[in-house]
Amino acid sequence: MMEHIRTPKVENVRLIDRTAPRKAMVGTLYLSATHTIFVENNPETRRETWVLHSMVASVERPPTTPSGSHLVVHTKNFQVVQLLIPQERDAMDVQASLARLSRPEKYSELYCLSINPNANKEEREESWSFLDLQADYRRMGVPNNLWVSTPANSEYRVCDTYPSELFVPKSATPPVIVGSSKFRSRGRLPVLTYFHQDTLAAICRCSQPLSGFSARSQEDEQMLEAIMKSNPGSDYIYVVDTRPKLNAMANRAAGKGYENEDHYANIKLQFIGIENIHVMRNSQQKISDVGELKTPSMGDFLWGLESSGWLKHIKAVLDAGVFIAKAVAEEGISVVVHCSDGWDRTAQACSVASVLLEPYYRTMKGLMLLIERDWVSFGHKFSHRYNHLEGDPKEVSPVIDQFLECVWQLSEQFPCAFEFNERFLVQLHRHVYSCQYGNFLGNSQKERRDMGLRERTHSLWPQLWKDRAQYANPLYRADHTQTQGILRPNTTPYCFKMWKGMYNRVEKSSPPRQTPTDLLTAVREETQQLEEELTNHQERIAVLTKADQTKGNAGQRKINKVCEEECRPGGLAPPTGDGPFTSPPQGYSPSQGGPPGSAMTLPLGPPKGPGPDSDDLSSACSDMESGVADLSSHSSSGGDDNKDPDEAVYCTA
């Protein structure tokens, strides 16, 4: 990649704070093979801002001004970095280099494939065994006497976008499997994705049937019949077509379409009306524009939110999940879900339903498994949808963004039901785009196997797991009523909000923010430490008491007191100091400047060079944004041990 870097270093660059355009940091801009790095000149702070090339969505260069050329970098996770470069020539070079660096043409140019795979061989191999999909099926009770594993797709013979191991009804014979597959778009036949042990109802997924106006397939009809019979006691199944009915009908002209209720005995067809990837792409562009509005009026904002249509689409996805979850848990009826190809809307609907149905998927590991199953293994086209390589822009669409947002909307409605916090979802979203790990590369399991990703890259999951302390929701308790059983969300329109932590992050630096959950996490950690300390002391006392019975009691009292004193400044320190709290106000009157800090900068030492080794850059992460600056530094477990390299890029919290 180095050959694309025309200018590796530009001096006297200004990093503009978009909330306060007159405030800027002066520093040096570096282009490395993987990152754009801005280092402030001020020797006291030397704040650094890192942007991973693969996160860059666009680089604009507004007309040159007397003070130099501006570069506005938009990232794929809706952050904006604005630079002022003195020489137009340098700005053009940087822009051209970034344009090329951010649009790799081959997989081998991607970050995760640019590192030596054998550097941490053992760790790499271990990282891929962190999640075990088959174990998750076993957790659901599959295989059993109703659902069995079929070897039909070994070596991806019947469907090259499916996983090699599939679960089908026990009564489905090989001819039925193959026949059904032939009657489905891209061979994506109906197979099991979730089994609900309480009711024995299942969620199956597939693509649209090649029914056209009159075609039918006996095997496919038998397949759906077999799915119904795999749910003893039920006499019909739902076929959920997640598309708007009009779209489904239009597909018939192309020889595709939906199931004819006259041909399939005992099915109930239900259309949900989730719009297609093109509508979603445009809608997300609009909502991210709304998030970037600088000083909108309340009317502008609400109007923008409405006209983006985004929340309407989120509601449609959630409604699909609710319908499926209700059918499975309350009616005990199995559901077959499809859209057109069965890899976008189907993945959304099935995974939302799983989150609603199964408390396990509301834990960190559970959500990882769910993504691994419904998205990764079932051939969601990550590389196409998230533009990993320079490709067809019409293939790009925020499909998994919407799933993650549904989970976020749910977590806002049920604050105690999820083991993870918003940060976890934001981080997942990031990595779908970042290509720092091999998990989301390619468009199917087969592609990933052919690329040998397990041999050449690391897996994201153990890394997230290692950092789980910062992704924990302190309100989550495994025995809470909200945690158990199925979630029954309210999908009345007023329950949906703009995801500020995703689409309005630019602004995060300006208001002093305090979050109760951050505080609580810190308090908890602190408490835990103190308890451990207390235990240690008590053990020591026990030893001492044995030695000297008379002095024991006095010792105990004294130590308790020490603990009290330690607890206050540590656990519940007020967010004072010269941190964000004193940030001057902004926006009340146009003449006023903004706050000194920026969400995207780190007050750190000189750069240690990019790449997975520059881990410690993440250490001061949470302070700039949360307003609980001194809390995170108190929790000792916020560790210096190996952190995610990408956090160095942005100090997202």
Partner 1 sequence: MEFSEHIKTANVEDVVLRRPFHPPMQGTLCVTGHHLLFSNRDGDSSRLVLLLLRNIDAIEKRPSVSSGTITLKCKDLCVLQLDIPGMEECLNIARSIEYLSSLDIVSDMYPFFYRPLKLSLQDQWGLSSPEQNYAQMEELQDRWRLSHVNKDYSVCPSYPPAVIVPHSIDDETLVKVAKFRQGGRFPVLCYYHRKNGMVIMRSSQPLTGANRKRCREDELLLQAVIDGSGLGYIIDTRSNQQAQQARMTGGGFESKSSYSCWKRLHRQLERGKVLQESLIKLVEACGDHSHSVDRWLSKLENSKWLSHVHTALATAGLLAECVERDGHSVLVHGSEGTDATLLVSSLAQLILDPNTRTLDGFLGLLEREWLLAGHPFQHRCAHSAYSHARLRLEAPVFVLLLDCVWQLARQFPLAMGFSEPLLLRLAREVYASDYGTFLCNSDQERCAAGVKERTHCLFQFLLKPSEREHYSNPLYEPTELAIWPSIQPQSLQLWRGLFLRWTQHAVHLEKAQEELRNLVIECRGAS
Compute the distance between CA of residue 224 and CA of residue 216 in angstroms, rounded to an integer.
13
CB nearer to partner 1: pick between 231 and 504: 504
Residue 515 in the binding site for partner 1 (CB under 8 A): yes
Binders in 252-291 for partner 1, by CB under 8 A: 290-291
Q: Where are the alpha helices (DSSP H) in 513-588?
A: 516-547, 552-571
Compute the distance between CA of residue 73 and CA of residue 66 in angstroms, rounded to an integer.
20
Helix (H) or strand (E) holding 192: strand 191-196
Q: Annotation-wise, does 614 bind a ligand?
A: no
Binders in 108-167 for partner 1, by CB under 8 A: none
Per-residue DSSP letter, 23: -
Site string for partner 1, 434-473 (x = CB under 8 A): ----------------------------------------
Catalytic residue among 159, 206, 339, 406: 339
Per-residue DSSP letter, 420: B
Site string for partner 1, 580-619 (x = CB under 8 A): -xxxxxxxxx--x---------------------------
Q: Annotation-wise, does 597 bind a ligand?
A: no
Minimum gap (Å) between residue 570 Cβ and partner 1: 9
Of positions 563, 633, 639, 642, contacts partner 1 by CB under 8 A = 563
Residue 270 neighbours by CB under 8 Å, 6+ apart: 238, 239, 240, 241, 323
Residue 154 neighbours by CB under 8 Å, 6+ apart: 164, 165
Minimum gap (Å) between residue 524 Cβ and partner 1: 6
Q: Annotation-wise, does 277 bind a ligand?
A: yes
Q: Annotation-wise, does 342 bind a ligand?
A: yes
Minimum gap (Å) between residue 23 Cβ and partner 1: 15
Give the 3-state secondary structure of residue 653: coil
Q: What share of the chain is helix, strand, coil (3-state, %, to 5)?
A: 45, 15, 40
Minimum gap (Å) between residue 336 Cβ and partner 1: 27
Omega cis (within 30) before 645: no
Helix (H) or strand (E) holding 337: strand 335-338
Task: For strands 335-338 and 237-241, give the pairing.
Answer: parallel
CA distances from 69 to 82, 92, 98 (A): 10, 9, 15
Residue 9 neighbours by CB under 8 Å, 6+ apart: 28, 29, 30, 31
Q: Annotation-wise, does 344 bind a ligand?
A: yes
Residue 299 in the binding site for partner 1 (CB under 8 A): yes
Helix (H) or strand (E) holding 289: helix 277-292
CB nearer to partner 1: pick between 215 and 567: 567
Q: Annotation-wise, does 276 bind a ligand?
A: yes
Give the 3-state secondary structure of residue 421: coil
Of positions 65, 67, 490, 536, contacts partner 1 by CB under 8 A = 490
Minimum gap (Å) between residue 349 Cβ and partner 1: 18
Binders in 371-430 for partner 1, by CB under 8 A: 413-416
Residue 494 in the binding site for partner 1 (CB under 8 A): yes
CA distances from 592 to 3, 278, 586, 629 (A): 44, 41, 6, 24
CB nearer to partner 1: pick between 270 and 515: 515
Residue 169: φ, ψ to 5°: -60, 145
Of positions 31, 210, 407, 573, contacts partner 1 by CB under 8 A = 573
Minimum gap (Å) between residue 416 Cβ and partner 1: 5
Per-residue DSSP letter, 146: S
Minimum gap (Å) between residue 343 Cβ and partner 1: 26
Which range in 42-50, 117-125, 153-161, 506-514 contacts partner 1 by CB under 8 A? 506-514
* Count of residues of this chain found to bind partner 1 when the rule CB under 8 A is applied: 75
CB nearer to partner 1: pick between 49 and 586: 586
Give the 3-state secondary structure of residue 298: helix
Q: Annotation-wise, does 345 bind a ligand?
A: yes
Does the active-site annotation cover 350? no
Compute the distance between CA of residue 602 and CA of residue 108 in angstroms, rounded to an integer.
30
CB nearer to partner 1: pick between 131 and 506: 506
* Whether the Cβ atoms of residue 443 and residue 422 lie closer than 8 Å to each other: no
Of positions 151, 574, 605, 609, contacts partner 1 by CB under 8 A = 574
Q: Annotation-wise, does 616 bind a ligand?
A: no
Binding-site members for substrate are 276-277, 339-345
Q: Which residues are catalytic?
A: 339
